[in-house]
Homo-oligomer: A and B are copies of this chain.
Amino acid sequence: MLLPMSPLDSMFLLGESREHPMHVGGVQIFQPPEGADARDMRALLDAALTDTDQDVASRLGRRARRSWTSLGQWGWESDTRIDLGHHVRHDALPEPGEEAQLLALCSRLHSTPLDRSRPLWEIHLIEGLRDGRYATYTKIHHAVADGVSAMTMLRRALSEDPDERGMRAPWQHSRPRHPGPPVDAVEAVDLPRAVIHAARSTVGEFAGLVPALARTLTRAAREQGGPLSLAAPKTMFNVPISGSRQFAAQSWPLERLRLVAKLADATINDVVLAMSAGALRSYLLEQDALPAEPLVAMVPVSLRDEKQAATGERGGNDVGVLMCNLGTHLPEPADRLDTVRTCMREGKQAMAAMSGAQILAMSALGAGPAGASIVFGHNSRLRPPFNLIISNVPGPRHPLYWNGARLDGLYPLSIPVDGQGLNITCTSNDDAISFGITGCRRAVPQLHTLTTHLGDALRALEHAAGI
């Protein structure tokens, strides 16, 4: 039986092509418990692979299909012949087995499309980290889950109890053990719940009418001005892209960002955006490619409320967007942070005042780069509506464990598309915040230098705040 797929989710299948695979990814690094090592962790996962009771998590057990009988519409059907050997794969790092090799491997794994004839996910079990840790890379199609719902799935597979054993593998079905604490709702937005519900209830009515929605958004932007502006300068990132990806990642203590935010009367998300702004300015100066006008970031915000985020009740894609002026033309870090803070504040106020249909219009775009690409395409003669997407997907607030192995690192990989060759996604884990930078390998040369620039930008913000 073919179950219906939401029009928004099916956009990620329709908009996909050879050079634009539409999946999100994540790297998880685990520290085995005292007395155990990476081999023990692999042995546990291998045992799950050969488990005769293969109760695959429901969202991972269905595949996308369309046919003449569904009038060409995409739908979901359950796959009764799941071939776990296809979905769960063993990988290893070449010498010297450091994070550089892990990132290089994940860059490549993230470049290849998922097999559409099967459920749209892969998990790679990665051994060979010289420091004795064990890594996994998970890839899931954006039609199946966005960053937040992928995080919810991860959250469910793990435990806050370091002593819990007998836990099932991440791809297996498990009941929610932990009603709380919930995954954070994105902190940047505090929309009245009624508005969120209104936006959702119009999905059935409007979604699919993407051009109309784009007009709504454009009109909204003209009326509101400033924070919703669609005028962004051309940059080297806003070009057609190739099919290969480069990925870089690094984390910083969340406390450092929290302190900067506190002293500047800003949010942590504002600091994330200001760090990105500083790093982009430095990178573009190095490449001799900094535009005179400030870069504009599209910032997705969750439309889920806390309860839903915790239970993963709705799943799928529930996001809106704000446009943020990054102030990359300003040399002073404090000025850039101030620009970002003002812009996000005004945007949130504007959003709170918008009708459900208007938020939905943004939601259709905010579905991420795919939406943007489908609506706007890439037209080299036009100015891009924004320069890149910077998103902050909240992760677990407390240390999490899988059969005693502590989740030590968590890096998100996202989706570059034509006209949007670079993407920055952050996620928090326990007391750290990780930046994952995913780019087209051709459009963004030397992408790994951005992590160095991010670190420099954080230090500059601390310095400006008198820390």
Contacts and interface: CB of A to CB of B under 8 A. Distances in A.
Rank and list the top 6 A-B pairs by shortest CB-CB distance, nearest first: A92-B92, A90-B94, A112-B112, A117-B242, A115-B243, A92-B94
20 contacts: A18-B18, A18-B116, A19-B115, A19-B117, A39-B95, A42-B95, A83-B442, A89-B108, A90-B94, A90-B101, A92-B92, A92-B93, A92-B95, A94-B125, A94-B128, A95-B127, A112-B113, A113-B113, A118-B242, A118-B244
Given A18-B116, A19-B115, A94-B127, 4 more contacts: A86-B244, A89-B108, A113-B113, A116-B243
A154 interface: no
Contacts of A19: 115-117
A244 B115 contact: yes
A14 to B, nearest CB: 14
A158 B118 CA distance: 41
Give the copy number. 2
Interface string A14-33: 00001100000000000000
A125 B95 CA distance: 12
A457 to B, nearest CB: 26
Nearest to A93: B92
A51 to B, nearest CB: 19
Interface string A271-313: 0000000000000000000000000000000000000000000
A83 B107 CA distance: 15
Interface of A: 18-19, 39, 42, 83, 86, 89-95, 101, 104, 108, 111-113, 115-118, 125, 127-128, 242-244, 441-442
A32 to B, nearest CB: 15
A93 to B, nearest CB: 6
A94 B94 contact: no
Given A89-B108, A95-B127, A117 B83 contact: no
A42 B86 CA distance: 29
Nearest to A21: B18
A441 B83 contact: yes
A351 to B, nearest CB: 38
Contacts of A42: 94-95
A328 B181 CA distance: 64
A112 B109 CA distance: 10
A86 B117 contact: no
B90 A128 contact: no
A159 to B, nearest CB: 26
Contact of A104 (B90, B108, B242, B441): B90
A86 B442 CA distance: 10
Nearest to A441: B86
A112 to B, nearest CB: 4
Most buried by B among A18, A101, A441: A18
B441 A113 contact: no
A42 to B, nearest CB: 8
Nearest to A115: B243
Contacts of A442: 83, 117
Interface centre among A89, A92, A113, A244 (most CB of B within 10 A): A92
A106 to B, nearest CB: 13
Contacts of A125: 94
Given A83-B442, A89-B108, A90-B104, A117 B243 contact: yes
A39 to B, nearest CB: 7
Contacts of A244: 86, 115, 118
B95 A94 contact: no
Nearest to A445: B83
Nearest to A127: B94
Nearest to A97: B92
A307 B244 CA distance: 39
Contacts of A91: 92, 94
Given A89-B108, A92-B93, A94-B91, A242 B441 contact: no
A246 to B, nearest CB: 9
